[in-house]
Amino acid sequence: MTNLNDLNNKISLLKHKLKYESLKEELTGLKLKSENPDIWQNPSEAQSVMQQISDISKIINMIDNIDKQLQDISGFEELINTNPDSDLEKEFQNIITSIEKEISELELQAYLSGPYDRNFALFSIHSGQGGTEAMDWASMLHRMYLRYFDKKKWAYETLDFTPGEEAGIKSVSLKVSAGFAYG
């Protein structure tokens, strides 16, 4: 059973790894930059700044939310230790599981901190050799990945699509426009 001390240690390490204080300063600078009317003369720069604001805000909000949840349930753990109750323990464990899931998502953000990880991704499937079966398999992969992108709520667009002669597809290329899609 995970205790609050372990979770507090994890979130502290993540704050250090993600450079939490630097992110807050960067967010403030980006917000000031977005308030400058000159930035809106260049739509691609404005879009880039707004995307950075969105990505950084998401990370900061996740950290703040986890911190708040950990503070809120600290008294809950003391109550369980002094007055054991199976219903309270079950509820406490559900909350801990939820926090662990959020921390896992933050850990993924920490691992995806390379210079290109935040970028969109170009994604291609080619049937290669193998005839109709290979083209049918490529079609199944295409549908599977589209469902995955939809489930993740990632925006994507088809750049190129070549259908097979009898069934399936010869090749398809997609642009996945989501934060950390490349990573």
pLDDT tens, N- to C-terminus, the chain (183 residues): 567 778 888 888 888 888 888 888 888 888 888 888 887 888 888 888 888 888 888 888 888 888 888 888 877 777 777 777 777 778 878 888 888 888 888 887 777 766 666 677 888 989 888 788 888 888 899 999 999 989 988 888 888 888 888 888 888 998 888 766 656
Structural domains in the chain plus CATH codes: 4-111 (1.20.58.410), 121-177 (3.30.70.1660)
DSSP 127: -
What is the end-to-end Cα distance of the chain in Å, rounded?
A: 31
Residues 122, 173 contacting (CB under 8 angstroms): yes
Type of residue found at 39: I
Task: Please choose, from the candidates 138, 148, 63, 75, the residue with its C-alpha nearest in 3D space to the C-alpha of residue 103.
Answer: 63
Residues 84, 137 contacting (CB under 8 angstroms): no
